[in-house]
Chains A and B, each alone.
Chain A
């Protein structure tokens, strides 16, 4: 079975600064997807960024980028130029190729200070 570990329960960052959220996972599979989801207070969860394990290039979406280290089974999210609207819970998640079940980590609460 796959497991996803987010060991930092919460983080805080000053507006306009950069923050990195950590995630490790465990799997015996070779082909899979990794995700970061954002869950703002009282709002629905949305997908921030996706990484395919077979791609060596790290995914980037505007201010969001990942550092995917397949051998180390590490998948961190970097948020540049943090904005107040980035305040939310962030979940790291795993999905096997061909299976649509998501396995989530416990999440991290990110607070952006004005």
Chain B
């Protein structure tokens, strides 16, 4: 069964350093999402891509976060510089496009700890 892949699974960094997370969606899924899940909270959407275009990045802290999906397949989320408050689980999800509803499939996430 196809799954969303993410790497690394765990990342520990010091504040002010740069970190990057990678996501490979399920083949054929044109829509890709990055969520941030702070411990004890539900996931919050950071950015949504339709193919290589950003559809929604209203909750992305653009002064330090960036996301790209250059060829409309895999995606990278970057934080520079990392801050203590960025410690969280970063989840990637993907879905098909079109129709009234498409299920989002989630990856295992990257747990970031900023020291």
CB within 8 Å of B: which residues of A? 4, 33, 42-47, 50, 52, 91, 93, 95, 97-98, 100-102, 104-107
A9 CB → nearest B CB, Å:
8
Asked if residues B43 and A100 are in contact (CB atoms below 8 Å), the reply is no
Contact between chains at A106 and B40 (CB < 8 Å): yes
A100 contact set on B, CB distance < 8 A? 31, 33, 48, 95, 102, 104
A46 touches B106 (CB 8 A): yes
Min CB–CB distance B110 → chain A (angstroms): 12
Whole-angstrom CA separation of A91 from B48 in the bound complex: 20
Main secondary structure of the interface of A (DSSP, over half): loop
Interface residues of B (CB under 8 A from A): 3-4, 31, 33, 40-45, 48, 56, 91, 95, 100-104, 106-109
Alpha-carbon gap, A106 to B42, bound state (A): 4
Looking at the assembled complex, report how far the CB atom of A2 sits from the nearest CB atom of chain B, in whole angstroms: 12
Which residue of the partner chain, among A44, A50, A102, contacts B109 with CB atoms under 8 Å? Answer: A44
B42 touches A107 (CB 8 A): yes
Q: Which residue from B31, B41, B56, B91 sits with its C-beta under 8 Å from A106?
A: B41
In the complex, the answer to whether B107 meets A44 with C-beta atoms within 8 Å is yes
A101 touches B40 (CB 8 A): no
A97 with B100: in contact, given A44-B108, A106-B41, A107-B41 (CB under 8 Å)? yes
- Nearest chain A CB to B108 CB, angstrom units: 5
- State the CA gap A56–B106 with chains docked (Å): 28
- The listed residue (A50, A98, A102) touching B45 by CB distance below 8 A is A102
Q: Are B56 and A104 in contact (CB under 8 A)?
A: no
Question: A91 CA to B37 CA in the complex, in Å?
Answer: 12
